């Protein structure tokens, strides 16, 4: 029987993450805001997901009321045996008459030996198993992460700059770029290198060039991946991947792409109010919510 997983992702990347997981041979059985339910054919490897949890139990979503929550938690936890110290992280969609901490404490009180609440911001001690509970409007799920760290935390990331991109978003952009072995790929404002590093993991056989106006960014990119040609321009790239500053050091309505070369395809993440210069025709857009901001990924080609 296939094992069931909850795959958590960035708001706006649900469909792209589902496509990545389906292509890998798994079955995506449901997609809701920030979450996929996946029947896995084997180990689930994903670069677009934020995190992944093996499902331990599920019951129908209890809806808004505290009474419904209490009954649902009783049913949910009755199906799970857990020994040892736990903490619980909960999230839900829609408006409810209870908080995420109410969900966490209700589950923790039934399963913890002992239970460490996150209600007052105290981190649980090392060795604690963090259980994940989500309410997606259809079901209440209980899962456990099958690996020690969240998936979005990358082993390669040892240095960052202001505005460093969330790695799963960079991975999604690399996927949208359609990079093939032999392509020349250019990032004109590479920061600490997230876009090209994630792209190179997906397509090691392409050639990657990145540059940045800030020498500290180049230093950070070299620390993160010494194997990429940092501080080099690509004159006629096949693909451009770009994450210009989102109005932090540029006026929000500036056209960041004006000085970039032309390419077979451009994938940029733009802040609210930012646009590309007139050479580019947008062929795809993906609106995201990430860290409380609302950028969009734009896929563009040269010409009409």
Ligand X SMILES: C[S@@+](CC[C@H](N)C(=O)[O-])C[C@H]1O[C@@H](n2cnc3c(N)ncnc32)[C@H](O)[C@@H]1O
**Shortest separation between residue 191's beta carbon and ligand X, angstroms:** 3
CB 44 within 8 A of CB 55: no
**Shortest separation between residue 293's beta carbon and ligand X, angstroms:** 11
Pick from 132, 142, 87, 77: nearest CA to 112: 87
Indicate the residue among 13 and 111 with the shorter CB distance to ligand X. 13
Q: HSE of 209 in the Cβ direction (CA atoms, 13 Å)?
A: 18
Cα separation, 96 vs 104, in Å, equals 14
Residue 52 CB coordination number (10 Å): 24
Indicate the residue among 145 and 239 with the shorter CB distance to ligand X. 239
Backbone dihedral region for residue 51 (phi beyond 0: left; psi -120 to 50: alpha; all else: beta): beta
The residue of the chain with the least Cβ separation from ligand X equals 191
Indicate the residue among 212 and 225 with the shorter CB distance to ligand X. 212
**Shortest separation between residue 220's beta carbon and ligand X, angstroms:** 7
**Shortest separation between residue 196's beta carbon and ligand X, angstroms:** 9
Indicate the residue among 35 and 243 with the shorter CB distance to ligand X. 243
According to DSSP, residue 293 is labeled B
Q: State residue 141 phi and psi, 5-degree precision.
A: -110, 145
Indicate the residue among 21 and 240 with the shorter CB distance to ligand X. 240
Summarize as ranges the residues that interact with ligand X (CB under 6 A): 161, 163-165, 188-189, 191-192, 194-195, 212-214, 217, 243-245
Indicate the residue among 76 and 185 with the shorter CB distance to ligand X. 185
Cα separation, 247 vs 229, in Å, equals 27
Residue 93 CB coordination number (10 Å): 15
**Shortest separation between residue 164's beta carbon and ligand X, angstroms:** 4
**Shortest separation between residue 216's beta carbon and ligand X, angstroms:** 8
Indicate the residue among 31 and 255 with the shorter CB distance to ligand X. 255
Pick from 152, 155, 169, 135: nearest CA to 50: 152
**Shortest separation between residue 217's beta carbon and ligand X, angstroms:** 4
Residue 66 CB coordination number (10 Å): 13
- DSSP letter for each residue of 261-283: PP-SEEEEEE-TT----TTEEEE
């Amino acid at each position: 029987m296939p094992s069931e997983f909850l795959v958590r992702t960035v708001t706006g990347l649900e469909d792209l993450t589902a496509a990545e997981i389906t292509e890998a041979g798994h079955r995506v059985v449901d997609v809701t805001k920030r979450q996929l339910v996946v029947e896995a054919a084997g180990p689930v490897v994903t670069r677009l997901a934020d995190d992944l949890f093996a499902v331990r139990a599920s019951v129908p979503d209890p809806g808004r009321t505290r009474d419904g929550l209490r009954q649902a938690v009783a049913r949910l936890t009755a199906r799970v045996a857990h020994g040892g110290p736990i903490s619980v992280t909960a999230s839900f969609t829609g408006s409810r008459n209870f908080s995420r901490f109410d969900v966490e404490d209700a589950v923790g009180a039934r399963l913890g030996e002992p239970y460490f609440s996150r209600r007052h911001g105290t981190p649980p001690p090392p060795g604690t198993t963090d259980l994940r509970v989500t309410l997606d409007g259809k079901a209440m799920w209980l899962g456990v992460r099958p690996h020690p760290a969240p998936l979005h935390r990358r082993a390669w990331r040892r240095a960052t700059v202001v505005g460093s991109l969330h790695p799963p978003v960079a991975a999604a952009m690399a996927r949208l770029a359609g990079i093939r072995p032999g392509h020349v790929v250019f990032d004109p404002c590479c920061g600490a290198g997230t876009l090209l590093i994630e792209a190179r993991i997906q397509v090691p056989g392409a050639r990657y060039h990145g540059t940045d106006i800030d020498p500290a960014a180049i230093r950070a990119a070299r620390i993160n991946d010494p194997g990429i040609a940092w501080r080099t321009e690509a004159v006629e790239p096949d693909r451009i991947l770009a994450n210009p500053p989102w109005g932090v050091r540029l006026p929000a309505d500036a056209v960041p792409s004006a000085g970039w070369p032309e390419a077979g395809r451009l994938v940029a993440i733009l802040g609210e109010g930012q646009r590309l210069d007139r050479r580019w025709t947008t062929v795809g857009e993906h609106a995201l919510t990430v860290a409380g901001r609302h950028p969009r990924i734009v896929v563009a080609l040269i010409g009409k």
